[in-house]
Each structure stands twice: as structure tokens, then as C-alpha cells.
Chain A
Amino acid sequence: MKISILIFLLFLAIQTVLSWKKEEFRNCNQTPFCKRARSRKPGSCNLIAQDVTISHGELTAKLLPKIPQGQDQDQAKPLILSISVYQNGIMRLKIDEDASPKKRFEVSDVIISEFESKKLWLQRVSDERSDGDADLSSVVFLSDGYEAVLRHDPFEVYVRGEQGNRRIVSLNSNGLFDFEQLRDKKEGEDWEESFRGHTDTRPYGPQSVSFDVSFYGSDFVYGIPEHATSFALKPTRGPGVEESEPYRLFNLDVFEYIHDSPFGLYGSIPFMVSHGKSGKSSGFFWLNAAEMQIDVLASGWDAEPQISMPTSQSRIDTFWMSEAGIVDVFFFVGPGPKDVIRQYTSVTGTPSMPQLFATAYHQCRWNYRDEEDVENVDLKFDENDIPYDVLWLDIEHTDGKRYFTWDKLLFPHPEEMQRKLAAKGRHMVTIVDPHIKRDESFSLHKEATQKGYYVKDASGKDFDGWCWPGSSSYPDMVNPEIRTWWGEKFFYENYVGSTPSLYIWNDMNEPSVFNGPEVTMPRDALHLGTVESRELHNAYGYYFHMATADGLVKREDGKDRPFVLSRAFFAGSQRYGAVWTGDNTADWDQLRVSVSMILTLGLTAVTFSGADVGGFFGNPEPELLVRWYQLGAYYPFFRAHAHQDTKRREPWLFGQRNMELIRDAIRGRYMWLPYFYTLFREANVSGVPVVRPLWMEFPTDEATFSNDEAFMVGNSLLVQGVYTERAKYASVYLPGKESWYDIRTGTAYEGGTTHKLEVSEDSIPAFQRAGTILPRKDRFRRSSTQMVHDPYTLVIALNSSQTAEGELYLDDGKSFDFKQGAYIQRHFVFSNGQLTSSNIVPTRGESSFSTDCIIERIILLGHLPGPKIALIEPGNQKAEIEMGPLRLGEHAGPAAVTIRKPGVRIADDWTIKIL
């Protein structure tokens, strides 16, 4: 009785604890630079561009305040502006102080080295006078039909297309630009800031930068992850806006984040994409790793516009504020959505090519407790014939949260354990976080201390913060030397108990500091001796991810693609591995928001992303869990994960029926692996994400612009999640003029309209677009490794003119040989009743890849039944045509026209003609 009372009280207390602690994090009003910037009035910027000239292939100018005549201008320190242009429609604008007492931080190692080689050497600048302007504008060439313009007074920069007729993106059109230059402290001035008992010494005083950016001809803006919010970014200021917080970019470890908030989460990518009715997109990227706050301004936000806009085009205004750093911004002219991503990834790099296994299903939990647990879970997957590729170990596997070690009681034989998994083609992932336990007997800590490798606090001592192990320090990952040192810790001889089938998970790298301000590192902590944490905070996790991934590459002498999952990220993280959306919760809203979050990550090039299937916190009802698996099977990164306090939720724990449903969802992913892998390669080449918003494929279809409940997997599959309990129907909008085929039933649905479809518990709606050809593998194995030799199925979805095309990419799934040409890329075309397979890569590279895999089945959707025979050339072979199931197994759909056993090799050129 008394127990129950006490427990009840405790429970109440816990209830209040277990929720997002909004007040523990700064809002804009509590953040002086944000408050100051937001209170500024449009047109308050009085800078004008002077001394405009071309030098070193760049357009340069000085920005100085416009002083009424008679006053002395000598007092003002100028800002230095430079505009450079790059191939394919990229303009870069930099603005920094001329001579500052301390060099402002420029984020290193984000822009890829190849980018500089794409610079166009500017030689000519032409002047023009806009209507009503007293002063000139300087115009330089950007790319065919595009120009970059620097307007002198008032100072404004923009890019325009169509021979000057269309503005695309502009900066400072609303005159909100402000650059707080570093200066000496005035007498009596207090620079310290305090928040919830944490004091920020701010030795260098105010140094924020802010400006407005306008996107023309756009109806929506997207991007700037990471927020749990809608995909199309809702306005944060202006008429009809209740939410008064800007989108915050500040990497934070947020306990139980909520599903609809502009609040900053684990990662930050200051890259925004706009899109509008014309079908055109543009992009804007600010390379700055300090805390950033971004307002999306609702139309009419400026009740009394103080400046007249020089164009009447529809536009979206945004306001960007950063605590520190410089202006180093990139304008991307598009014009298509995929062009914008190509342009952005030519600056920050395309997503790396993952190993095949990493694109399959991952099984994780905090924690698989010991070797026996691992063995049992592994066995249960086999007993239930559920494929999985990777088993994960969370923090408890270590010896007292000392990473690179094993708990000797729970994991006495780590190598043998990994080898047992590897014998089934499976892999293991262990967690390695950036906080190093401050324990004199821990050699890693000793070494880092001796070498001075830790981040320092404001007083210059090794920063000491609290995290899982207790008192911890954090290696200064911004330093390349320290990154190299860190990477070597993953060598087999250093990471005792690791084997070649072991890969890594980087968690808590925001960094999470339990006793720090806002659960992270104080802003006045020091990197590289002099750089404050405030200047690079958002990139810390990125450097950590980089160091780990590079270490894994070196571990195998550059022969093995790394796999590293990171929670924190920054622009460029796509080059180092996967990210996930952090500690989500097992509820339907979070299932829904996972799609927005993953679409946003994909749009900003971090395509290898996913949300914890099932929800990290809480216990999902079986129905929610099943729906989550059905959706998660289409996440680029497909992993189930759960908090240690939750009930076990391996797929077989919810009864036979639910096990079958989950198994079917997982098998669905394995079935589509050849397609996913092809898409990962596409992303690797072009930056175009695996999972895309509908408007990326249907740019002029307005109905798709704010749809974030459905998404495209590549250009061929459309998936609609089911986000409510006991749903009987789902409304699915199918864009375009061509039909869509239900991937289970083969039923054709008309495009360009919303369908109210019955849904069962079996699956979520998914459709293949007419006119596409998809590769599948219909045999399910223990893991993707055993599927390597299995035959393919091709699914041809014919469009109204009875044609279709598709691609297949494959390589060895592991090594970097594909970079030397060791891959196969096939192009399939169906037209005139004939399927042709041809090689996309015209010439062989230095090395090659071959496979004996054959095609066992070709399914034709939208083809009339009747033909009995197909003729295969070369060889003049015949194959039977019959009505066969669209999908094998328990969930076989109705029959479709099927070419039985064509037996052609996937690697060869051939044609198959339907007779």
C-alpha cells in the first residue's frame, strides 16, 4: 500500500521529468545576438559597396557605411566583399572584416578540394544602372544565361537568369545585413552572458552576422535540418504566425524532442532550397558552424516596407542570423531541384557509396547485454527466417563506458562473437562516442592528456564535462593531427577485440555534455588553441564523424568502404556515412515526422538517413511497430532501435501474425536492395537523394509541394505511410499523367489525382510509376551477403505508350574498386515489345567487375495477356510467357504477364522480344 503511494508519487515526478525541457534551452529572446538581430528594422543596413573591381578572377569590393556628407568616414572599418563564380551556376560570396584583432573562424574541410578547380576566372565586369538607383550595379557572368549582380547602393547581391529577366536568389534586398566587427571592450561594458547558471565569458564580445535572403518565384522553402517539423518550412514570423521562434541550427542532445518545433536538434546544415510553381528551384548555403537562427518570413511580414523591392516577382524572404564567423555563402541557380542538389554537392561533396550490407536491415537495442544475448537474437532471426545484416552494441558493451574496450564479464570473447556473425555474412557495429573517460588507468585518456589533444576550457585547462562515463574530456577533432591520431585507434591492433566485420557508431557528438549549458560544451571552450567553441560548435560532430570514417578506411588500407553512423552532422557529413534522427519516441506523430526529417536530410545531401524504427523512447503498440517497419523498410538507413527501459521488441515478440507482417516488411527491403543500391550509386554520382520529395520528380505539380506524407524512392517508387491507428483508408496523391501500379497487386491507378484507398494491416501503399523498370531479388536469405549470387527479377511497368526504362548498378558491394571502373551499370529499355539491356558505361575502366547472376523472371505490368513465347537474342533462345504472381511467398499478388526463366546474364547485352 505504502509502496504504491510512494511509487505513485515517484511516477508523477517522473512524468514531469520525462518530457522535452523547453526551458533548458535558449530561445531567441534569451540569445542576445538573435534578439538584437530580430529587432532590427528592414532597411537599417547603411552599407554601400565601394572600390568595386576584379582581382584574382574575383569581383571584390569594400563595404562602408553610407555617411551623410560632411561627416568623417575614416572611423569606420570596411568589410571586404568578394564574389567568385564556379561551373554549373554557383556563385560564392564572402564578406569578412578587413583587419580584425582576431581572425574570424572559417570552417575547414567542408568544401571538397575539387571544388576550387571548378572556379571560373572572372575577367570582365559590366556596369548597369537599375531604375531609380543613384549608383551603379556591377554585373558578372555566372553561367549561360545567368549573371551575378552586386548593387552598390544600397548594397545588395543577387543572381539572375534568363538574360536578366528573372531574379533567383538575393542577399540584403531588405536591408537587414549586419556584421558586428570585433573590437576592444569599452569601459564599463560587460560581455559575459549567463544562462541557467552557466556563464559564457565571451572574451571577444559581440561578433554576430545576420542578413536577409530572398528566393524568387518560389512558393516554399525547404532544408536547413535538423528540426522535427514539416518538410515545407512554415513561416516563423509575420502575419498569421503563432510560433515566434526562428529555426534554430545548434547541435543539441535533446531529451525526448517533440514532433513539431523549429527547435534545433542533433545536426545542422545551413542549406536552404526553394521551389515554386514554375517548377524551378534555387538554393542558398551559408558555410558557418556557429549557432544560427533562421526566420522564414510570411508574406506581408514587413507591414510597411521601407524599401521598394526592385522586382515584382513572388518571393519568400528569409532572415539568417549567426553568432560568429564570416559570410561565406553560395547561391545555386538550379533551375531544376536536382540541379540545385548537384550544385550543392559539387561544393560539399556527394554522399559516399555505402557497403551493400549497410543498406540492408540493422537490428539495434540499448543494449544487447552479453554474448549470449547476441547469440540468441541472432538465432531467433534465423528461426523465424527473417533476414538481417547488422547487430549493434550500445554503450553497455564497454568496460565502464571506456570506448574501444569490452566489458570483460559480458563480452569476454568479442572476436569470436563477431566471427560467428560473420560466418553468416553478418556484421556488427559498436558505439564509440567522443567523450573520453577521465581515468588515469585508461590509456586513451592518458595519451590524449599527455599530447594535449583535448578541447580546452576558457581558462586553458583540459575541458572536463560529464557524460556517460562520468567526468570526461573531448578530443579536439577540428585539428587534423588529432583526427589522424583518433583514426588510428580503430586499427585492429589498437581496438582490441575488433575484427574486419566490425563497424562504428558515433553517438553524443553534438557534443553532448550533461552538465554543460544546454547539455553541450560551453561556447568559450577552446579548439586549436584559439578558436572558440561558439565559432565551430555545429561542426564538432562532423569532424568526429570524419575522423572515425577515415580511421576505418585506413584500418583496411583504403580497401574497405567504412560504415559509421553519426548522430550529429553538418554540411558535408554525407561524405562520411549515415546519420539518424536521434532519440525519437514511439508514437504516431513521430512516425509521421520521420518522413519530413528524412526528406529534409536527403534534400541537403545527407541521403543515408533513417529514424529509429519503433521509436527510441516508449513502448510501441504492435500496430505502430508494424507500421513503422513497413515505412522504415523504405528509409535509406533502416534500423530498429530502442531505449534500455523499453520492453524487448524484436520482431518475434508480438505473436505470429505480427512477426509475419514485420518479416514481410523487412523482406520487402531485401527484395528492393538492388534498386536501393542503384539509387545509392546515383546519389554518390549526382547527390540526388535515394528518398525524394514528390516535387523533385514532378517539379511543376503544385499538389506535391507540401506533401510530406508520401515520398519517392528514386524516380520509380512512390510510398505513402500510414500514420494513424486502425486506419481503414489512406488518401494517396499520385502525381503525373501516367498511371501507377500497386507493387503488391499490380492494380493500375490513374495519375494526377488523389485516391482514397483501402488499407489493410499487410502493407502501406506503394506504387511503381508507369514507364519504369525495377530490379528485384525475390529470394530471401539470412542476410544480403548470401543474396549476392541470387538471380534477379525485373518488373517492367509500362506506360501509355507501352514503353519503360530503368537502371541497375552493381559492384562488389565492399571495396573502392568501383572508383576504378569495377562495376556494372545496365540500362534497360522496353519499347516495341522488346526489352533491351545495354551497358551505360561505354568503356571499361582500369579494373572490372563481373558476375554470373542471371535474370530468372521478368514481370510486365500493363501488358495484355496472350503472348506465350519470348525470343532471346543473342542465341535465338526461347522463354515461356505465363501468368505468374507479382510477388512470391505468403503475400503473392494477382497474376501478371511473366517471362519465365529467360536465364540471361545480368552483365550481358541482350534483347528479349515478346512474340
Chain B
Amino acid sequence: MVKISVLQHAPSTHLPARPGDPTPTSRNLDPLMHPFARARERTRALNAVKMERIFAKPFIAALEGHVDAVETMARKPGTLNVVASGSWDGGMIVHDISLRRHILRVDEAHKGKISGVCFADEDRLLTCGVDRNVKLWDTREVDENGAGPSDVRKPLNVFPGKSAFNSIDHHRTDPIFATASNIVQIWDETKSAPISNLSFPTSIETISAIKFNLSESSVLASIGSDRTFTLYDIRTGKAERRIVMQMRSNALSWSPTFPTTILLASEDHNLYTFDIRSLKTPSQIYKAHVAAVMSCDWSPTGHQFVSGGWDRTVRIWQEGRGTAPEVYHTKRMQRVTSTLFTSDAKYVLSGSDDGNIRIWKARAHEKLGILDSRERAAIEYRESLKQKWKTDAQVNKISRSDFLSLFASVYIVADRQLSSLSRTRHIPKPVHKAGQLKRTMLEAQRVKEERRRKHTRAGESKPTAEKRKVVIAEQS
């Protein structure tokens, strides 16, 4: 029999199995077919960073509604899109950030500024103001009193206090909340008077913010205008420890994945993370803001956090990396008084002095929307290439976010050189100038210190580590 061998042409090998599928690609496994691996990957890395910069457009939208500066914001636990905000004029708005509309709006929730908002549970919202009241609201479309979205809302409950409140935070699980005025008070939702007062004996100053720990929910922390950070525990009912710092803190936030870590936004332009087990020194200092940091919030992953400052920038930091954060700014955004991460760690909100809440992407170049699996693979490949080639000079030059802060301590006088290099990322001129000024001042300080040391007896004055300078005293 004559056998006939036919050149076979199987469509299944090179056509998609189903209509929607990607076309199958074949690949030659022979390494000789793929030479110059290093050079090719480097080029790809370079392209990847360039693309990152090209597609870095973080701003998504601005939510309007407030007449005055947005003082405080809170996200509803367990949701992605519900965020409440309170402003200086006493207006309170609950936003749906995905639809960009107001779920609830109360124009005169408090007389004077609303200093704190937080969600009690599902649909109830607590606000506190300088009018010495804490109010409980129903945020549903139609509340218990039958008031619809257009009606004037009445609070479900009012908890009167003795002095102006500065901050409020709700316990994660129990119907308990804490307020900060000149003392820390713990309230039960069902009782009109505080169930306990917590204060450090010698503290007489105002307490500016308070936060419950998220995982260890009975632990409580506050910061005060007397430059202190105080730790409380509602189980022992005591103020347990206090540290006094060089400058006062403006905001604090507990890490959601590292329960011992707390982040403080300080007046001295820095942010500090502390491990509450050892408060003597901060575990990390985050330096890049050029004015006081007004607010901070951890990403739900605990590996990033956002901060907003008096310098009209929002910065997104990587945990453990003390420099070179991502900088967000717009022309019209004024001082950022409140910042927030959404609970899927994808977006960042910033409330500023101009009365707007802005929505930003947490990763500036991220593509929004549904991703094809091949596209995702490509993105992941690009990311890892960038990571791998970050040591390359060219790649690094393009990708580095804030050159100024990175090399601030290295370059001293060569200002022109610096400015030419710092063009990799645009920063508003005032911020840039303030940065320059700050650098100059710090440099002068350093030089002076150095000279002083030079002229004292040898070994008399040793340079202290930056971390050791932060905490002045730890009190128990």
C-alpha cells in the first residue's frame, strides 16, 4: 500500500478555540532564537517607565457641594463608594463617589465647624462640632423620621457635651464612640452622657484628634495641641502612655494590617510611624512635604498611605520608604485638610480648603476598567521590568518621582544642577520654591551644627540620629 504523508494544517493550533479567545501564540523555545535578552529587556524597561510617565494622569473628578473648607472625611465601613464629609460652615454631605452624587446633604448640621464625622454602623452617621454637640444621623434615603432626600433632616440623637469637640471616632464593633475635646470621653450610643472620661493627669491642653485601633479595638490614641501623643485603653480605662514631641501632630491613623503601627502627621512637615510597643523613637520618618502635614490615612492594604498638607499637595507614600512619594496637585486645589483612601485601595480622596473633594487614582498610571488577561500579564511584566531595572541610570531618571527630596542631602550648593534634573516631574512653583528654601534652611542648620561640633572639645557633642530627635519625653 502506498502511504501518503500529507502536510497537515490544524487550525486549532493557530486559531482561537472560541470566538472571544485570544489567538494562541506559538513560541520558539530555542534560546538561540532569542539573543540579546538583557539589551531587549532593558529597552522594554525603559519603554515601560516612559509609558508610566505618559499615562500618569491621576485626577479623576472633583465632588462639589461644600461651601467652606472640607475639614473631615470618613468612609463607610464595608462599602466602596460612600463617604461622608463635614465642612467648616457646618455642612455635612454623604457622597456616593462612584455616581458622584449626594446621598444626603445637611447644610447646617452643626453651628460652626464640623470637626469630625464617622459612621456608627450601617446607615448611621455621627458628627461632632465646635457647637459642643455630637449628633447621630440616619443616612438612608428616607430616614426613620420619614424625611426624604430633599427634606430637612433632623438628627436621630444629640449628645450634648461640655466643651467643643475636636474629633470623633467610633469603635469598630461595639456601639461605643470616643470624642476628643479637652479630655477624651467614651460614649455609649444609647446614653446621653459619656460613660467614662480618659485623660492623662497633667494634660490640660486640647486634644485635637482621636482614633480607635482597628484590630485591637479597645486601644485608643489621641494627639493634643500640647505636642503630645497619648495612648489609651478602654479596658483598663486609663491613659497609658504619652510622648511629647518636638512639634504637634495634626492627624493620626492606625495601620489596618500592622496593628501596632500608628502614623502621625506632624506640623514639622514630616510624617512619623510609631510602633506603640516602643514609643521612644519613630520607626520611620517620612520627609517630603514642604509645609505642615494636615491629614493622613492608611491604605487598606497597610503598604501605602496618603497625606495632605498645607503645601497644597497630596502625597502617596510607600510604607517604609521615607522619601520620594507620589505627588498630586492641581492648580485650584488649596490646602489639603483631609485625605482618605477608599476601601479597595484603588482611589484616594482629598478634601481641601477650596471646598472640593477630589478623587484621585492611587496609582497614577493605572488603567481603569476591565483588563484582558494578556493585558494584565503585560502590565505585570512591565512593572517587574521597572522594578528590576530601577538601578539603571536612565530608567531611574525617568521613574524617580521626587528628585529633589531624594538627593537633597547629597547636593548642597549646586542648585542649578538640581533644578535641571528635577524637571522630571512638575511641581507647582511655590511648592518647589518652598522646597528649595527648606533645603537651604536645613542645610544651614546642619552646617552650623557641624561647625559647632568642630569647635567643641572632641567627643563632647556627638551628632544625634534624626529619629532620636523626634520624641522629647516619654511619660508614663
A pairs with B? no
- Residues of B participating in the A interface, judged by any CB pair closer than 8 Å: none
- Residues of A participating in the B interface, judged by any CB pair closer than 8 Å: none
